[in-house]
Amino acid sequence: MNGTKLDHDEDAAAALRQTSLRVTKQRVAVLEAVRDHPHTDTETVIRSVRESLPAVSHQAVYDSLHTLTEVGLLRCIKPSGSVARYERRIGDNHHHLVCRSCSLIVDVDCTIGQAPCLTPSHDAGFVIDQAEVTFWGLCPDCAAAGAQLTGDDQFSAV
């Protein structure tokens, strides 16, 4: 466990060193937290990070998430109605399944190819670099529980 933790730390630190960013314990912890809990929101990342670094400020986490996203170590997703969520899987152009009832987010591999993976019928002259696909529906549990969806879920979902 400790070895694993250290490996993770080292891995995170190595990833940071490959950028021009300074390797700080806050950033390593943030990278760790997102790896361990994919699709988590900032609030949860803050809680995770505070398990090992009780004194981190929320601002440090916000800053780290932004910076790490900028340099491409993290990816930020914001499904409609959701706060920002982060994930470590980057560069593979995968997509997401989102449950309208419980907000569960699941990765779906993109079988079409690399970004943008789809091309619109008319591109209106745009230079397109990414096709972001979000599948909306009910997760197995919510579907089984017969979750009733109202139009309002368009606002409250996720």
Partner DNA sequence: CTGCTTATCTTGAACGAGTCAAGGAAAGTG
Partner DNA sequence: CACTTTCCTTGACTCGTTCAAGATAAGCAG
Nearer to DNA, 62 or 136 (CB): 62
- Contact yes or no for 41/84 (Cβ under 8 A): yes
Would you tell me which residues interact with DNA (CB under 7 A)? 17, 21-27, 41-43, 53, 55-60, 62-64, 66-67, 78, 83-84, 155
Q: Maximum CA pair distance of the chain?
A: 54
Query: Binding residue for a second copy (CB under 8 A) from 18, 24, 57, 80?
Result: 80
N-to-C CA span, the chain: 33
d(CA 74, CA 146): 35
**Identity of the amino acid at 71:** V
Please tell me whether residue 95 adopts helix, strand or coil conformation. strand
Please tell me whether residue 5 binds a second copy under the rule CB under 8 A: no
Query: Binding residue for a second copy (CB under 8 A) from 2, 4, 114, 121?
Result: 121
Least distance to a second copy, CB of residue 127, Å? 5
Nearer to DNA, 116 or 136 (CB): 136
- Contact yes or no for 27/80 (Cβ under 8 A): no
Query: Binding residue for a second copy (CB under 8 A) from 6, 14, 108, 145?
Result: 108
Please tell me whether residue 70 binds a second copy under the rule CB under 8 A: yes
**Residues near 113 by beta carbon (within 8 Å), at least 6 away in sequence:** none
d(CA 134, CA 79): 8
Least distance to DNA, CB of residue 135, Å? 22
Applying CB under 8 A, which residues contact a second copy? Answer: 66, 69-72, 76-78, 80-81, 95, 97, 99-100, 106, 108-111, 116, 118, 120-140, 143, 150-152, 154-155
